[in-house]
Amino acid sequence: MDLKTDFGLLNTQSDPRFGDRRYGRFGTIAKNGCGMIALYNVERAADASTRFEPFYAARKPIKTNFFGLLGTRPSSVAKALKSRGYTVERIRPKKAKDAKRFDAVIVLYWHFFGAHYVAGIGNGDGTYTLYNQFTKPHAMKLDAFLEHLKKGKQHPYRIWGIGFPEKRT
């Protein structure tokens, strides 16, 4: 594995290797690219050959809010995934405890200062390892994560359950 080209799953959008890159017309990945990082982490988890550089080049057209200053447009998340063969289902926050297990989830939540996307990669046991939220990737159940957000006065806005595409042989 070449660490110069293979970043693996990303736990921060402010990584100096790519954080200062444009996201939208006026935003940067470090400031407004949490949605792009969440989408990248889902694609990377589905296919270990996914590399950040080509992903970034192909994803520049992802729709953003206010020219990138407000990050990824929520309506473009499912559209971007479905166009690449993923199955996507909305999960209602109150139904998260009973939601079926997915290969991954993306949670968009809002708080007093804005909004944030977090990707959770399924562990097969009902937990998801969450990226770009905690200091280190952290595994927990989806409903426990939503409860954690609630305690911090952060409110889930959208939750997408994601099924990986079938592997082509």
Structurally, the chain folds into a number of domains equal to: 1
Phi, psi of 54 (to 5 degrees): -65, -30
In a domain, 17, yes or no: no
Q: What is the Cα–Cα distance from 165 to 68, expressed in whole angstroms?
A: 28
CATH number at residue 103: 3.90.70.10
pLDDT digits (tens, 9 = 90+) for 121-131: 999 999 999 99
Instruction: List, in order, residues 6 or more apart from 141 with CB less than 8 Å away.
Output: 97, 126, 127, 128
Partners of 129 in beta bridges = 121, 139
Q: Which token pair is 158?
A: 């959208």
**Which pLDDT score is estimated for 62?**
64
Residue type, 64: T
Confidence of residue 4 (pLDDT cuts 50, 70, 90): low
In a domain, 37, yes or no: yes
Q: Which token pair is 26?
A: 């006026």
In a domain, 31, yes or no: yes
Per the structure, the complete domain to which residue 74 belongs is given by 22-163
In a domain, 11, yes or no: no
pLDDT digits (tens, 9 = 90+) for 22-64: 877 777 889 888 998 999 999 999 999 999 888 888 865 566 5
8 A C-beta contact, residue 70 and residue 32: yes
In a domain, 15, yes or no: no
In a domain, 70, yes or no: yes
pLDDT digits (tens, 9 = 90+) for 18-31: 889 887 777 788 98
In a domain, 96, yes or no: yes
